[in-house]
Amino acid sequence: MVAVVDELERHGLVERRRNPDDRRAYSLQATPAGRRAQGQANKAVERAEDKFLAQIPAGDRRRLKDLLRRLISQ
Protein backbone atom coordinates (compact mmCIF):
# COMPACT_ATOMS: atom_id res chain seq x y z
CA MET A 1 0.00 0.00 0.00
CA VAL A 2 2.83 2.38 0.81
CA ALA A 3 4.31 1.84 -2.65
CA VAL A 4 0.99 2.79 -4.26
CA VAL A 5 0.74 5.97 -2.18
CA ASP A 6 4.39 6.78 -2.93
CA GLU A 7 3.66 6.47 -6.66
CA LEU A 8 0.53 8.63 -6.46
CA GLU A 9 2.47 11.23 -4.51
CA ARG A 10 5.37 11.11 -6.97
CA HIS A 11 2.92 11.89 -9.78
CA GLY A 12 1.43 14.78 -7.80
CA LEU A 13 -1.99 13.14 -7.42
CA VAL A 14 -2.08 13.01 -3.60
CA GLU A 15 -0.27 14.60 -0.72
CA ARG A 16 0.34 13.25 2.75
CA ARG A 17 -0.69 15.39 5.69
CA ARG A 18 0.52 14.67 9.17
CA ASN A 19 -2.13 13.98 11.78
CA PRO A 20 -1.66 16.62 14.53
CA ASP A 21 -3.07 14.22 17.15
CA ASP A 22 -0.85 11.25 16.19
CA ARG A 23 2.52 12.00 14.61
CA ARG A 24 2.76 8.41 13.33
CA ALA A 25 -0.36 8.82 11.21
CA TYR A 26 -0.95 10.69 7.97
CA SER A 27 -4.04 11.48 5.99
CA LEU A 28 -4.08 11.54 2.22
CA GLN A 29 -5.53 14.47 0.32
CA ALA A 30 -6.16 14.46 -3.40
CA THR A 31 -4.47 17.33 -5.20
CA PRO A 32 -6.26 19.26 -7.94
CA ALA A 33 -4.43 17.06 -10.46
CA GLY A 34 -5.57 14.00 -8.52
CA ARG A 35 -9.20 15.13 -8.60
CA ARG A 36 -8.96 15.73 -12.37
CA ALA A 37 -7.41 12.27 -12.86
CA GLN A 38 -10.19 10.71 -10.78
CA GLY A 39 -12.81 12.46 -12.90
CA GLN A 40 -11.18 11.19 -16.08
CA ALA A 41 -10.98 7.67 -14.66
CA ASN A 42 -14.66 7.76 -13.67
CA LYS A 43 -15.63 8.81 -17.19
CA ALA A 44 -13.51 6.01 -18.68
CA VAL A 45 -15.21 3.47 -16.39
CA GLU A 46 -18.64 4.78 -17.40
CA ARG A 47 -17.77 4.46 -21.11
CA ALA A 48 -16.46 0.92 -20.59
CA GLU A 49 -19.60 -0.06 -18.65
CA ASP A 50 -21.83 1.41 -21.34
CA LYS A 51 -19.98 -0.50 -24.05
CA PHE A 52 -19.90 -3.75 -22.08
CA LEU A 53 -23.59 -3.57 -21.14
CA ALA A 54 -24.88 -2.12 -24.41
CA GLN A 55 -26.89 -5.24 -25.28
CA ILE A 56 -28.81 -5.15 -21.98
CA PRO A 57 -31.94 -2.97 -21.76
CA ALA A 58 -31.58 0.15 -19.57
CA GLY A 59 -33.92 -1.13 -16.85
CA ASP A 60 -32.02 -4.40 -16.57
CA ARG A 61 -28.75 -2.47 -16.40
CA ARG A 62 -30.05 -0.41 -13.49
CA ARG A 63 -31.20 -3.56 -11.69
CA LEU A 64 -27.85 -5.26 -12.31
CA LYS A 65 -25.91 -2.27 -10.95
CA ASP A 66 -28.20 -2.10 -7.91
CA LEU A 67 -27.71 -5.79 -7.17
CA LEU A 68 -23.95 -5.49 -7.56
CA ARG A 69 -23.86 -2.48 -5.20
CA ARG A 70 -25.80 -4.50 -2.62
CA LEU A 71 -23.43 -7.43 -3.00
CA ILE A 72 -20.37 -5.21 -2.58
CA SER A 73 -21.78 -3.41 0.49
CA GLN A 74 -22.23 -6.62 2.49
Label residues 6-30 b or e (16+ Cβ within 10 Å = b).
eebeeeebbeeeeeeeeeeeeeeee
pLDDT of residue 35: 97
pLDDT in tens, 22-46: 988 989 999 999 999 999 999 999 9
pLDDT band, residue 14 (cuts 50/70/90): very high
pLDDT of residue 63: 95
Averaged pLDDT of the chain: 94
CATH 1.10.10.10 assigned to domain 2-73? The reply is yes
Phi, psi of 19 (to 5 degrees): -80, 120
Residues 6+ apart with CB under 8 A from 12: 31, 33, 34
